[in-house]
Amino acid sequence: MALSVLPTASAVSLDPGAVPSRTQITVRLDSGVAFSTLNGAESRPALSLAKLYLGYWVLYHGAPEDQARVENMIRYSEDSTATYLDRKYRQAIPAIIGEWNLHETHYSGYWGGMTTSTEDVARFTSAIQYDPVATPIMNGMREAAPIARDGYAQNYGTSRLPRCVGHQVWVVR
């Protein structure tokens, strides 16, 4: 799973024949124009992408001490922080799914077991990228640690694209 939010001036080319069938790619431009592989709307395990939805809700509705945890949850892909926040704010992810009409995103009752699509994530991140409340999320993605808190490498996927700001590097390889 990979997603990207790129400035409108960027040139994007995608050869569907060169993309493995299990790979999903959605590129959404600032103009709202989106390009996806044929399976871009397919719901797949969200893994750490779920933290974006959870973090956004916490930034708007969570306690100040929990809001302060969001940036590092994203930057270091902190599963323990996501689990803590998900348990404390059970309504968070379902509320974001409903509010943003994330039709291919499904919450199983645990952040780590949910599914989403690259089209849902790209539309969501494109919409929040200029929201000042979402700054900790965008900063966490922009300055993602090369190694997650659990030791997993995060230096692949959209992190390798030039001029890609606010990339989400937790992609499924």
For 85-103, the pLDDT digits (tens) are 999 999 999 999 999 999 9
C-alpha to C-alpha distance for 61 and 40, rounded to whole angstroms: 30
Q: Which string of b and e fits 76-103 if b means at least 16 CB within 10 Å?
A: bbbbebbeebbeebeebbbbbbeebebe
Indicate the angle between helix axes 92-99 and 79-88, nearest 10 degrees: 80
Given the DSSP bridges, would you call strands 2-6 and 44-45 parallel, antiparallel or unpaired? unpaired
- Give me the pLDDT at residue 13, please: 67
pLDDT in tens, 146-172: 888 888 887 655 555 665 655 444 333
- Give me the pLDDT at residue 81, please: 98
Exposed, middle or buried by CB within 10 Å (0-12, 13-18, 19+), for 162? exposed
Counting as low any pLDDT under 70, the low residues of the chain are 1-14, 16, 155-173
Element (H, E) at 137: helix 135-142
- Give me the pLDDT at residue 170, please: 39
**Residue carrying structure tokens 């933290």:** 51
Residues in the chain: 173
